[in-house]
Amino acid sequence: MHKRWKRLLHETSVAPRAPARRKVRAYLPESRCFVASCSGAVVAACVVKPLGAGAHELMSIAVRPGGQQAGHGTALLRWVIRDLERRGASRLKVGTARSATNSPSLAFYQRQGFRVMGTDHDFFVRNYPQPLFEGGIRHFDMLRLARKLTNAIE
């Protein structure tokens, strides 16, 4: 099971695969991993890293290709949000590529209450050795989003 969700996160990471795979491996030891399964098969996985002071970051979320847009990603994200709230966490952050081709991911997060906090300019230039393209557009900047968790004491 362990290998299967790791493969799922790798397969659905932004190309090129090799640096993305290294990045996922680097943050796994300090993170918690969640999976959604259907009839024993992993359909979605995500990784959440504690940042301290009640804040957490959603480092990766991926639904198996072929199973996307069927509600699995939303169900998993909602479950994770509820779990963090039960544990008294205050804030969940996420980063997503700031690009016209990435608007479905932005809609996915905004539907779950995430608000745009800012832009990390040249994130993909600084963090990836090769240029990353999606739909013919190069990724340069990371959009930073965050969602307050309801049990937060601030």
Ligand X SMILES: CC(C)(COP(=O)(O)OP(=O)(O)OC[C@H]1O[C@@H](n2cnc3c(N)ncnc32)[C@H](O)[C@@H]1OP(=O)(O)O)[C@@H](O)C(=O)NCCC(=O)NCCS
The one-letter amino acid code at 37 reads S
Shortest CB 75 distance to ligand X, Å: 7
Scan for tokens 């918690």, then name that residue: 32
Binding window for ligand X (CB under 6 A); candidates: 34-42, 67-75, 84-92, 132-140: 67-75
CB 149 within 8 A of CB 84: yes
Q: Is 62 in the site for ligand X (CB under 6 A)?
A: yes
φ, ψ of residue 96 to 5 degrees: the values are -145, 150
Show the tokens assigned to 77. Answer: 């994200």
Residue 69 binds to ligand X (criterion: CB under 6 A):
yes
> Interface mask (CB under 6 A) for ligand X, residues 11-50, using x and -?
-x--------------------------------------
| Segment contacting ligand X by CB under 6 A, of 27-35, 57-65, 80-88, 134-142 | 57-65
Alpha carbon separation from 99 to 3, 9, 108, 109, 124 (Å, rounded):
31, 21, 14, 15, 12
Interface ranges with ligand X (CB under 6 A): 12, 61-63, 68-74, 96, 104-105, 107-108, 111
